[in-house]
Amino acid sequence: MILTTHILSGAALGASVKNPYAVAGLAVILHFMLDIFPHGDYLNKKSRLREFWKVAVDIAIGLGIVAAVFSQNPTLEKNNIVVGVFFSLIPDGTTFLYIWMKIKFFKPLKDFHEHLHYYKNGELGREFRLGNNLWDVLFSLISLIFLI
């Protein structure tokens, strides 16, 4: 899934669950569950560090949407939403730390995370294009409905 989908689903979870500890744990689990659905990724095993501008744009879009929702609904429980967003990004963050920063401690988590994906890294189904990302669109829209 793209990071915007994880950000929005974590935010929706944070808006729905009152216990921040439950939000943290459930956000990580939700990330893994979403990654089970077939989807494309804009980075793959051939990507280079210079391509991480895509990650920055993706995060900016996701956080921008959450900020816009905050500004329109000041009664939202912002602390839990921030917890949901942060912990929804942890699995991809640990993958980054393993692959790009060579922190071997995260290899088992990265392997588990990679194993959950419907398509393996490098397969046609993991290419980033609309047909491969319809689940992203659906889950993002559902998350927005719950968030608003």
Segment 57-81 mean pLDDT: 92
In this structure, are residues 63 and 85 in contact, taking their beta carbons and an 8 Å threshold? yes
The candidate with the shortest Cα–Cα distance to 14, out of 88, 69, 93, 68, is 88
Tell me, rounded to whole angstroms, the distance of Cα 47 from its chain centroid: 18
Q: Which of 78, 74, 68, 77 is nearest to 4 (CA)?
A: 68
pLDDT bracket for residue 54 (50, 70, 90)? confident
Q: Where residue 46 falls among pLDDT bands split at 50, 70, 90?
A: low
pLDDT given for residue 38 in this prediction: 83
Residue corresponding to tokens 């990507």: 47
Average pLDDT of the residues of the chain: 87
Domain ranges of the chain: 3-147
Higher pLDDT, 51 or 74: 74
45 confidence band (pLDDT: 50, 70, 90) = low
As a whole-number percent, the residues of the chain with pLDDT over 70 amount to 90
Per-residue pLDDT for 49 more than 70? no
Query: Between the CA of residue 9 and those of 57, 96, 106, what are the distances in Å?
Result: 18, 20, 24
Angle between helices 107-116 and 78-99 (to 10 degrees): 100
User: Quick one: pLDDT at residue 82?
Assistant: 97
22 CB-contact burial (10 Å; exposed 0-12 / middle 13-18 / buried 19+): middle
Please write the tens of the pLDDT for every residue from 107-135: 998 889 888 877 777 766 767 777 767 88
Q: Model confidence over 90-104: pLDDT tens digits? A: 999 998 888 878 899
Tokens of 40: 């494309």
